[in-house]
Amino acid sequence: MAPTVTSKPARPGYGQLLRTPGAWTFLLPGFAARLPFAMLIISIVLLVQHTTDSYGIAGAVSAVTGVSMAVFGPLAGKYADRFGQRAVLVPGVLLHTASVVGLTALALADAPLWALFVAAVPTGASVPQVGPMVRARWGVTLNGSPLVTTAAAFESVTDELTFVLGPLFATALCTSVHPAAGLLTEAGLTLVGGLLFAAQKATEPVPARRRGSADATTHALADTAADSRTDTGPGTAAGVRGANGAPARVEHASALRVPGVRVLIVAFLGIGTVFGGLQVSLAAYTQSIGEPGLNGVLYGVFAAGNMLAGLVCGALAWKSAPHNRLVLGYLALVVTTSGLWAAQSPVLLAGLGLLIGMSIAPGLVTGYTLVERLVPPTARTEAFTLLTAAVALGQAAAVTTAGQLEDRAWDGAGFLVPLGGTALALVVLVSLRSRLATPAVERTVARGVGHRTPVPVD
């Protein structure tokens, strides 16, 4: 009997994705637990700037938080893959809540800078990695469905929605209620949302240590990843068949061993410099014109552009290769950030912020989609967390640099930071983009046995 070749299905839509049974049980608490992530840095900046009257100090404290997040976040993702999300999330949520309350108390008490740095370390290190955990749960819920790609785009859009609402919410609380209100609300949302999310056991991925060689779900997902992965590295032979035709045991290996992941980390570092540089520079600009409440509006316009473009990117069926889309999106990001330093009116800043946000979205959506293609399921939470950590690290470097520039140079000098960060990342991305190439393959089926036949792609 001749093999029957399955053609590539049409791109599923968001409506079909959201009707997936069980999806809302983790989406709603997950969103509540993710929103604080977008509130944390700006809340620290506004509180510490209020108590010290220095954007440089505020940027330094928030940078320590971001670096701690970047260092310890991937470990949390790795342990969540290995031991289970709930085992990592519950103690992390409790530690984060206590750390934020402690940092707030120290800032209000005019504690010395070293004490703020000490408190910032556990604050950042314990940030719950809910976004990567939600992405991993989609893999379990969809179980190899074509909707996996749509889910990656949907999650990027959800991230941007939090960056629309989070800074607006935090700024409104800090400027209208109390300078500490943003941080305390962040702690409360993290506690409630994180515990509710951890309670959703049905959609939690099976920890790697409990996966046996007969775990059909794991191997179905592993086969999907193996279809398009070009370099898995030792120990990541997901989807490999044993001599008797049965699935071989899936070994757990670090996502850092995949070359494409390392390139994506650099790209996401550059994106982080945009977030951090804009947060500090917009706060300084609105303060200088006597309209501090406008900060959240301007940042919200930037994030809204990101979210709207993300919706479009996720809904379209692209013909171009993902790594080429990533380069083009980054080029647009460099061009749009180049005008920030010269824009000296709220209207111009809002317009540029909208364009910058629209340029970021293709990079975020494409980067997370590439993770689905490059990384085996046993390391995906770690991979997603690495990208989130890269954004946090870039953000930390940017808030520090932009804060120092705003304090020591001219007004608006901090706007040079997003341009410099994205330009450097673009050079690396263009040089190493071949490591992101993932030639697609399709399955042919004959008498119930799966075979893979390479086919050309765009």
**Closest to 274 measured CA to CA, from 187, 376, 353, 160:** 353
**Structure confidence at residue 63 (pLDDT):** 82
3-state DSSP assignment of residue 196: helix
What is the reported pTM? Answer: 0.67
d(CA 391, CA 66): 9
Tokens of 374: 């490059």
pLDDT confidence of residue 447: 34
Please report the pLDDT score of residue 250 as a whole number: 44
User: Within 10 Å of residue 82's Cβ, how many Cβ atoms?
Assistant: 18
Q: Residue 322: CB partners within 8 Å, gap ≥ 6?
A: 366, 369, 370, 373, 436, 438
Tokens of 370: 């590439």
- CATH code of 22-206+267-441, in short, is 1.20.1250.20
Q: What is the pLDDT of residue 4?
A: 46
Q: What does the alpha-carbon distance between residue 422 and residue 129 come to, in Å, rounded to a whole number?
A: 24
Q: What angle do CA 138, 271, 41 make, to 5 degrees?
A: 85
Please write down the HEC assignment for all residues of 97-147. HHHHHHHHHHHHCCCCHHHHHHHHHHHHHCCCCHHHHHHHHHHHHHCCCCH
Domain extents for the chain? 22-206+267-441
Q: For 392-439, what is each residue's pLDDT tens digit?
A: 788 878 888 888 887 777 777 788 888 888 899 899 888 887 777 665
Query: 195, 197, 174, 196: which is closest to 185 by C-alpha?
Result: 174
pLDDT digit of tens for each residue in the chain (458 aa)? 444 444 444 456 778 888 888 889 889 998 988 888 888 988 998 899 899 888 788 888 988 888 888 888 888 888 888 888 899 999 999 999 999 999 999 999 999 999 999 999 999 999 988 888 888 888 778 876 777 767 877 887 787 778 767 877 888 898 889 999 999 999 999 999 999 999 988 888 887 665 544 344 434 334 444 443 333 333 333 333 444 444 444 445 677 777 778 888 888 888 888 888 887 888 888 888 887 777 778 877 887 787 777 777 666 666 666 667 778 888 888 898 888 877 778 888 888 888 888 888 777 777 777 777 777 777 777 777 788 788 878 887 888 888 888 777 777 778 888 888 889 989 988 888 777 766 543 333 333 333 333 433 33
SS (H, E, C) 212-240: CCCCHHHHHHHHHHHHHCCCCCCCCCCCC
Contacts of 270 (CB under 8 A, 6+ apart): 330, 333, 394, 421, 422, 424, 425, 426
Give the pLDDT score at 152.
Answer: 72
